[in-house]
Chains A and B, each alone.
Chain A
Amino acid sequence: MVRVLALVSMLSSSLAWAQGPIVGDVEGGAFRPFPLAVPVVRGDAATAGAAKTVTQVLRADLEMSGAFQLLDDRSFLDSDGTTPDAMRFADWQNVGAQGVVKAQLSTTGGALSLALYAYEVAAQKTVLDKKLSGAVDDVRGLAHAAADEVFRAFTGEPGPFRSKIAVVKKVQGEKHVFVVDVDGEGARQVTRGGGLNLLPSWSPDGRSLLFTSYRFDNPDLFEQPVDGGLAKPLSRRPGLNTGGKVSPDGTKIAVTLSQDGNSELYLLDRGGGVMKRLTDQWGIDTSPSWSPDGSQLAFVSSRSGHPDIYVMASSGGAAKRLTFKGEYNQTPAFSPRGTHVAFTARDERNAFDIFVVNLTTNELKRITQGQGNNEEPSFSPNGRLLVFTTTRNKSRQLVVANLDGTKQTVLSASMGEHTSPAWGPFIR
């Protein structure tokens, strides 16, 4: 933890772009989004429509990250080429761009091919020169892949844009687990039948989802491959079998069971057999979330008289209380960087909002306020963004936000009632 902190302060104090990432530490106090020009992706007669889609998706992804300020393309001169030798950097300096992304879309042998370049304007340096290819029927996927490349070129970190979000959606009186893209598009239903299917979570390899289903009239834990296949029961013990989360090493499942009359945390093996009971309290213990190294669990306990967030070793033992404000703190999510825990809290006006606590400094940051009810945060795999639900536009939609809440994007494609979003792992 100390080493992470030292690295962060080194990045934010360093003005030399040549060393380290160009964009720098996006959670630093003095961070200003990096002014980036993304002119229209060029295409030919066959790819003109696809080029337009790639431009839109690429721009939306980069904007959503909060790391970039996408410049207004009406100001662009954009009379230069896309390749390094055909760039006119002075033109981009004159519109205030510090970075430029250029791309050319063509078709080769029935597939899409995207020649992607990114430049740092002041240094006149090529930071990305890569050919991406994609199927003609997956233009958006190609654009998300391009966004990942650009994000990595400027920040030095992998981008989260090809990853998927699992979410529960209400359909015709039932609730089902869907998988959507990071911009809420491309929704695909995973669970079939069973009435209520709730609380999805990803296996670390991104191949399957755990969820709780009432298909046998009891909240039982199931696992199902993301790309179809049958739902396999993992735990059908009497009472609750909810909120199952696979450990980062893929060997264990942390879950809430109430077989002994009270909600307690247990560790199951991957087949569903009980390995260990973790908590033994008079209050409710529920909603476990793994730390990235698998050594700790954040969870909710009402042992103090009302729900609060606690952290304990995943091998069991004493728990450390994390939240001391408010009377209703729930749904913790451990950051994949191990630095923060995000959770939902009810404030004095009975509004639900998202908070993030820094585990190093114990500093508490409020992400939402006065924007309807905001609940159930989940971290992007790079730990830089959160997805959660909001009622700010009446129906319960998804929002993607950065960790200080300064950039929040409501996913307009997420129409209808959405609950329990879970951001999946990186796509390799």
Chain B
Amino acid sequence: MAFGRGGPGPMSEINVTPLVDVMLVLLIIFMVTAPLTQQGVKVELPQTDAPAMKTSTEERLVLTLTKDGRAYLGKTEVPMERLTDMLSANEKLKQDKELYLHADQTLPYGVVVKVMAAAKAGGADNLAMVTDPVSTEAPR
């Protein structure tokens, strides 16, 4: 049914907002650079000149995605197919509303977006993209 134009007709406007925008519209994304003392699973992070992470990663919820498509919550590997389920049930994510994404720079955009959607479903308002500082050779 059309309003105010009299008679039926094709809808002239199509909502083209991609699903991913709907998922992420309330997700605040910020970038931080990993401290050099960063422990955990080794990945090659994208390089940016984002501000450094100030607090220790120990009490942060860090999700690592490696080059070969493995996922780690903290230092423990989790099956990729269970990731959405695990994040959406995670109480720490509900409390902190913050997930630190520590993804290898060569990962496909699609994989990263899928994880971001899972984090959002788990109650994260803030997503931190962990990066390496520009022109710093990885010390490990």
Residues from chain A with Cβ under 8 Å of B85 in the complex: 74
Say whether B78 contacts A95, CB under 8 Å: no
Within 8 A of B (CB), among A69-100: 69, 71-77, 79, 88, 90-91, 93-97
Residue in B74, B91, B95 whose CB lies within 8 Å of A91: B74
In the assembled complex, the Cα of A94 lies from the Cα of B94 at a distance in Å of: 11
Indicate if the CB atoms of A77 and B78 lie closer than 8 Å.
yes
State in angstroms the CA–CA spacing of A88 and B88 once bound together: 22
Cβ B75 vs Cβ A95 within 8 A: no
Closest chain B CB from A187 CB (angstroms): 34
- Which chain A residues border B78 with CB–CB below 8 Å? 77
> Is the pair A94, B61 in contact by a Cβ cutoff of 8 Å?
yes
Q: A93-B59, A94-B61 are in contact. Are A77 and B91 (CB under 8 A)?
A: no
Asked if B93 is at the interface of the complex by the 8 Å CB criterion, the answer is yes
B76's contact among A71, A77, A97, by CB below 8 Å, is which? A77
Q: How many residues of A contact B (CB 8 A)?
A: 18
- Residues of B within 8 Å of A90, CB to CB, are 58, 74-76
**What's the nearest-Cβ distance from chain B to residue A426, in Å?**
32
Q: How far is the CB of B97 from chain A (nearest CB, A)?
A: 12
Q: Are A77 and B90 in contact (CB under 8 A)?
A: no
Does B26 sit at the interface, judged by CB under 8 A? Answer: no
Q: A88-B76, A90-B75 are in contact. Are A75 and B86 (CB under 8 A)?
A: yes
- In the bound complex, do residue B76 and residue A72 qualify as a contact, i.e. CB atoms below 8 Å apart? no
* Chain B interface, DSSP helix/strand/loop, else mixed: helix
A73 to B86 Cα, complex, angstroms: 9
A73, A74, A94, most chain B CB atoms within 10 A: A94
Q: Is the CB of B91 within 8 A of A96?
A: yes
B89 within 8 Å of A by Cβ?
yes
Q: For the complex, is A225 an interface residue (Cβ under 8 Å from B)?
A: no
Q: Are B74 and A72 in contact (CB under 8 A)?
A: no
Q: Which residues of B contact A195 (CB under 8 A)?
A: none
In the complex, whether A141 has a CB less than 8 A from a CB of chain B is: no
Known: A74-B85, A74-B86. A97 touches B75 (CB 8 A): no
**B76–A91 touching, CB < 8 Å:** yes
A72 touching B75, Cβ below 8 Å: no
Distance between A203 CB and nearest chain B CB, rounded to angstroms: 44
Question: In the bound complex, what is the Cα–Cα distance between A91 and B72 (angstroms)?
Answer: 11
Q: Which residue of B lies closest to A69 (CB)?
A: B91
Residues of B within 8 A of A69 (CB): 91
Asked if residues A96 and B90 are in contact (CB atoms below 8 Å), the reply is: yes
Docked Cα-Cα span, A72 to B74, in Å, equals 18
In the complex, what's the smallest C-beta–C-beta distance from B90 to chain A, in angstroms? 4
Q: How many A-B residue pairs have CB under 8 A?
A: 51
Once the chains are docked, how many angstroms separate the CA of A90 from the CA of B61? 10
B67 within 8 A of A: no
Report Cα–Cα, A52/B31, bound state, in Å: 44
B76 pairs with A96, CB closer than 8 A: no
- Please determine whether A95 and B90 come into contact, CB atoms closer than 8 angstroms: yes
Give, as a whole number of angstroms, the nearest-CB distance from B121 to chain A: 12
Asked if B73 is at the interface of the complex by the 8 Å CB criterion, the answer is yes
A97 to chain B minimum Cβ distance, whole angstroms, is 7
In the complex, which residues of chain A have a beta carbon less than 8 angstroms from the beta carbon of B74?
77, 90-91, 93-94
Q: Is the CB of B92 within 8 A of A72?
A: no
Q: Pick the residue among B73, B89, B91 that contacts A35 (CB under 8 A).
A: B91
A96 touches B94 (CB 8 A): yes
A38 → chain B closest CB, angstroms:
13
Complex contacts, A91 vs chain B, CB 8 Å: 73-74, 76
Asked if B59 and A71 make an inter-chain contact with CB atoms under 8 angstroms apart, the answer reads no
* Cβ–Cβ < 8 Å partners of A73 in chain B: 89
CA distance A93 to B76 in the complex (A): 12
Instruction: Give 1 or 0 for each of B52-88: 1 = CB within 8 Å of chain A CB.
Output: 0000001101000000000001111010000001111
Q: A310 vs B89: C-alpha distance in the bound complex, in angstroms? A: 49
Docked CA distance A96–B86 (Å):
12
Collect the chain B residues with CB atoms within 8 Å of residue A74's CB.
85-86, 88-89
Query: Which residues of the partner chain A approach B94 to less than 8 Å between Cβ atoms?
Result: 96
* Minimum Cβ distance to chain A for residue B33 (Å): 22
* Of listed A72, A75, A90, residue having the most chain B CB within 10 A: A75
A79 neighbours in B (Cβ, 8 Å):
76
B89–A75 contact, CB under 8 A?
yes
1/0 contact trace for A241-265 toward B, CB 8 Å? Answer: 0000000000000000000000000
Q: List A34-93 residues whose CB lies under 8 Å from chain B.
A: 35, 69, 71-77, 79, 88, 90-91, 93
Q: Which residue on A lies nearest to B86, using beta carbons?
A: A75
In the bound complex, CA of A153 to CA of B86 (Å): 28
- 15 A-B pairs besides A73-B89, A75-B86 with CB distance below 8 A are A71-B89, A72-B89, A75-B87, A76-B86, A77-B73, A77-B76, A90-B58, A90-B74, A90-B75, A90-B76, A94-B90, A95-B91, A95-B92, A96-B94, A97-B91
Residue pairs across A and B with Cβ atoms less than 8 A apart, 21 shown, are: A71-B89, A72-B89, A72-B90, A73-B89, A74-B89, A75-B91, A76-B86, A77-B74, A77-B76, A77-B86, A79-B76, A90-B75, A94-B61, A94-B76, A94-B90, A95-B90, A95-B91, A95-B92, A96-B91, A96-B92, A96-B93
Which residues in B have some Cβ–Cβ distance to A below 8 Å? 58-59, 61, 73-76, 78, 85-95
Top 5 nearest A-B pairs (CB, nearest first) are: A96-B91, A96-B92, A72-B89, A75-B89, A74-B89
